[in-house]
Amino acid sequence: MRQLRLRAACAAWLGPFMIAGAGFALAPAAMASPTSSRTSGTCVQDSIGIAASLANNSADDILGEATGQTFYAADTLLASLTVWRVANECQNFLIGMHLYITKADSNGTPLTLEIVLDGPSLVVPNGDCVHPIPFQWTFDPPLILPGPGNYAFFLQVQMSQCPSFFDVIAHTGTDAYPPGHLWGTLRTDFCDLPQGLVSYPDADLNFIAIFCDTHSTPTLRHTWGELKTRYR
């Protein structure tokens, strides 16, 4: 079973942070709970998640397990997803983090056989050993989700390095993101996404998902070349 381990470094860090590659900074309280970050113009950026500054715990991925988080998507164009590895896995840590996005049912349970996105894997080898280390998947053009509704993302060691490990920051103690919570899978020797699930309703991964707001912007019919400058 997955370990949730309190890390003082995560709990103590309350400074501003930068999402790598996103081109903007968020203040510590900017994403405390399901919150929108909107800009004017053709493509309205809509962000959900839990700021890294609110982390007070961590979840480990080991022996083929996958750590997941359910979320509600009101929009269908996903521009980026960011999570953070713990600060102390910071020097020549060459473990790749593989991303899955799956559907979830009406109760918010992940449907691990209904995969919307399989990969890619990211390797971020170094950090400053003080701040959590961002892993950002940027989709250009945006990833088109099948429709508004419940989804889950899962993080797993990339298949070629199975069964290595990594740890990602998490929040426990209060329900910082009511639309979803943390999930884990059973262990596997192959680092494919297992079907067996474990629910952690009192925990969430820290994550930021940025969407292009399609439900309140009727003039969105533009090419991604026109839209992507809004994400920089």
Q: Is residue 77 part of a domain?
A: yes
Q: Is residue 31 part of a domain?
A: no
Find where tokens 């102390």 sit.
88
Q: Quote the Cα angle for 110-102-159, to 5°.
A: 105
Give the whole-angstrom CA distance, residue 161 versus residue 94.
9
Q: Is residue 111 part of a domain?
A: yes
Question: Which pLDDT does position 114 carry in this prediction?
Answer: 95
Per residue in 201-215, pLDDT (tens digit) is 999 999 999 999 876
Give the whole-angstrom CA distance, residue 151 versus residue 108.
7
Residue 137 structural domain: 8-17+37-231
β pairing state of 182-185 and 66-73: antiparallel
Q: Is residue 49 part of a domain?
A: yes
Average pLDDT over residues 1-24: 34
Q: What is the CATH number of the domain that holds 140?
A: 2.60.120.820
Q: Is residue 25 part of a domain?
A: no
- One-letter amino acid at 204 equals D
Give the whole-angstrom CA distance, residue 195 versus residue 152.
13
Residues listed for the chain: 232
Q: Is residue 192 part of a domain?
A: yes
Domains of the chain: total:
1
Decide: 180 and 195 in contact? Cβ < 8 Å.
no
Q: Is residue 140 part of a domain?
A: yes
Per residue in 76-92, pLDDT (tens digit) is 999 999 999 999 989 88
Find where tokens 């929009």 sit.
75
Alpha helices in the chain (DSSP H): 8-12, 224-227
Q: Is residue 200 part of a domain?
A: yes
